[in-house]
Structure 1
Amino acid sequence: MSVFHTEDTGGERKYQFRRIQTTTIRFQVRAAHDVAICLSSDDEEEPEDMYEIFIGCWGGGESGIRRKKHDDVCRVETPDIVSGDEFRTFWIKIQHGVIKVGRSGAKHAFMTYSDPETLLHATWYGYSTGWGAEGEWIFPDEEDTSSSSSSAMSSSDSEAEDVNALEDRPIQYKRPARWVPAKGGYFPRHPVSGGEGPDGEVFVGMARHEDDYVLGMVVPDHGCCYVPYGGDAIPKDEYFVLSNPASVTLSWEPGAYGKVPAGALQGGRTEDGEALFIGRVSVDGLVSVGKVHPSHGVCYVPYSGSEHAHKNYEVLCARNINVKI
């Protein structure tokens, strides 16, 4: 089993990144203090879409969770939680917009933070030490890969220390895409294109409106996401962009009258629990992205300030993979 080393990076943490393989990350670490884990949407720091988990920091006696590089959303006293003489084992569970952090053998998490509004879907995590501390790290079932690789595969476990029935489940399917929070024209890496719109390329988006999450399209030059709702095309400055970090092959396939082809990507549900799908149509030779509503038999899209309904459309699909949305 490989042992990974981290240097003292001072106050400017330099994370080594690994891909998350399950809903629970498990690791062993030997460090005197200042252990840090970064949860990110990519294999690098993404300040608008990341969390940092600090263990044994602030002089060694406290732990905390930080959002977007500056918001400390959780902070607890944890004296002697890490050691420079022996390895200590921890787990981090990320599921349904909730982060839980616990120790091996402990029944309950010692830190928990819920943020369902962001639809948190971290796909990478980084590890680091700082402020005078170096670290040695072990990841369960680690393959014999070089410790210098910033993208070594994670062995986040499926037998994590969630002994309080936290329902840990390995992620057994490749995720073809995920939603990344954004606003004011910000874009994550690997955004999913919807095609050529009236003002250039548009991207698959979603925004919250009247307690619903509505599919629509992000127009970069406008710095917003337009969603079709109640007969209008409503601009939203805060939205989500569909990202494809795993570079899965996605394609637009024909559909009509509420029907969707195999592999169609679901993009939410109605209040009654009906699944909606990501669709697009061509209006006056230009693309507009919206939602396929099967029971209505149409795809609703925003266009020229209004909501339009079309019986013929295209649906975003993932082909030849085991899909988990």
Structure 2
Amino acid sequence: MGDIIEFTTSPSLGLRSFKVSSSGINFDVKTADYATIILSRTPLKKDITLVRIDNDRSWIGINPRDRVTAKTPDIIAGNFYSRLWLSWAGDNISLGKDGFLEPVLKYSSKTPKYMYVTFLTEKGYHHTVHWKVELPPLLKEPPMNNISKGDVHWVPTNTQLPDDVLIGGFEKENLYIIRANHRGSFTPGKFVPSEGCGYLAWGGEAHEKTEFEVLCGYNCEWVATGDDRIPVGAVEGGYSEVRREVLYVGRALYYGHIIPGKVQPSHRVCYIPFNGKEIAVKNFEVLTVPSKNRYANKYILPNHSNHMVDMDDEEFDVSEEEEEDGIMWQ
């Protein structure tokens, strides 16, 4: 519970505005006429949505054309306080009575999260509104700390998993990421604990492995992609048997399962081992290690996510201003 702020608004007394970090408030209001609340992203400058509370008809909206209205008899009174609530969670602004979950008014809004709530009596209407507002504590955004441990690394093993092993998927149980030698390749795949062995997708089939390396650590994230778009910082899982093309650690959703496998950029798919077969999936995720570093021969295109694009030096000229903004690699 936050602080209770009691105040009065009128054309002569002016309005009261508060910055609110939550997505709703509880308040008590007393007036013989009607009360007005304004929600805005900045202090009464733009993205304004009005909430009118009236015994005849209440409404919420930005302008008369898009208002949502409802008959609300006895919602407020001039001789005692009425307790109400107002929320703006998700895409809806809702007004309701204390003790009732169902709102009396619900307005669909695509406006960004509101930060300011203003209570007022509109100009030209000579009446007074008494308020008691329960303001939640103003929460500061916690600082983000960079992870300095938990770097991903491969550990040789068989069926005994290390303590910091990385969970890579789920198929009736947790699956883990492995890699092993197979026919001249070093291929990423999955480990199934209940079966005590791993599986690699290769040559149209899933091949069983009992000697392999397992991926450990936690300073990593999955990035959705497809085709031959490989995100910056992608974790290398091995190489192919032909030309030793780099294989990346990937995973894909298949029949409700999330299955680790290998991403071979030249093939533009993620191969996963499933039910004894090698399955090719076009849309997949690639495991990446977050980093501010960029490859010297790669450039991150603005508004193109974080995929690496090959660039020749003569194809791109960077101004000093862009270099200072950190657009190019370090």
Same fold by TM-score greater than 0.5: no
Q: TM-score range by the shorter chain?
A: 0.3 to 0.5
If the length of structure 1 is used for normalisation, what is the TM-score?
Answer: 0.43
Using CA pairs below 8 Å that are at least 6 residues apart, which structure has the higher relative contact order? 1
From the CA coordinates, give the structure whose radius of gyration is larger. 2
If the length of structure 2 is used for normalisation, what is the TM-score?
Answer: 0.42
